[in-house]
Amino acid sequence: MSDTYSMAGLLDIMRRLRDPDGGCPWDVEQTFKTIAPYTIEEAYEVDEAIRANDMDALKDELGDLLFQAVFHSQMAEEAGHFTFADVVQGVSEKMVRRHPHVFGKADIATADAQTSAWEIQKAKERALKAKEQGQTASALDGVSISLPALLRAMKLQKRAARVGFDWPQTSDVLDKLQEEARELVEAAQNNTDVAHIKEEVGDLLFVMANLARHLAIDPEEALRGTNAKFERRFHRIEALLAQQGRTPSQSSLEEMDTLWNQAKIEEKAAQ
């Protein structure tokens, strides 16, 4: 294999792209902030390829995601922060440290036990980092603010639950869900200011995430399924209307609701 298509070659490609003298103008002007959205997008495209079980696409998307790591590392090296080699060393040390049952003498027999040990080790690392920075460690440290809000809610709740701040029974969460729903309805009916209604919507979504956690359901996955179901049924409405030479905008809500119910019946019959 040519060195051009090795890891060293990829790093060299990135250096040339960022070279102010003869590099790519677009690549040269990028910053961590401008590249970050592309990094997130590439991660989602990796997820999409996995869900589609498309291995050719997954290979391509993993390459794109790797290139994002190379891009950020090159910018960091230029600014004197760290190099790609530092990134590799750091993650290697972290993986060895967090898998003492593989690289040390610890005895961890199950995946659940490993998950528990992993979280304990991460908590120790967060506490050490806080101490080095002269801060007091929090159980919520390290939950990225850039995560999708629903996923971040789950992670915050899990962290709080580990230190005992959690409802003991799922029924307690259901009671809280009804309470938050009533408060939202009241705020909307009373024409409360938008900021208050927004807060109540957030409270309801937060409790929904908590309920999903108690039921051992991934709320992101559940919502993806509902999104797909909505798309599927709405496409069926469009198809049924097209048979009549019409579009949704040329139909009433009552007509579309009838067709929605028809689509539901068809789906159940096909199952």
Judge whether residue 100 has pLDDT over 60: yes
Residue 144 lies in a domain: no
For residue 133, give both structure tokens: 């920075």
Q: CB under 8 Å, gap of 24 or more: what pairs does 172-177 form? A: 173/207, 173/210, 173/211, 173/214, 174/211, 176/207, 176/210, 177/204, 177/207, 177/208, 177/211
pTM of the model: 0.69
SS3 state at 155: helix
Class of residue 72 by CB neighbours under 10 A (exposed 0-12, middle 13-18, buried 19+):
buried
Residue 123 lies in a domain: yes
Q: Are residues 77 and 8 in the same domain?
A: yes
Residue 246 lies in a domain: yes
Q: Are residues 212 and 225 in the same domain?
A: no
Q: Are residues 32 and 84 in the same domain?
A: yes
pLDDT in tens, 179-234: 999 999 999 998 779 999 999 999 999 999 999 999 999 998 999 999 999 999 99
| Residue 260 lies in domain | 221-270
Q: Tell me how many domains the chain contains.
A: 4
pLDDT in tens, 212-224: 999 999 998 999 9
Residue 137 lies in a domain: no
- Give the burial string for 85-105 (b: 16+ CB within 10 Å, else e): eeeeeeeeeeeeebbeeeeee
Q: Are residues 7 and 76 in the same domain?
A: yes
Residue 139 lies in a domain: no
Q: Are residues 75 and 7 in the same domain?
A: yes
Handedness of CA 147, 153, 155, 159 (dihedral sign): positive
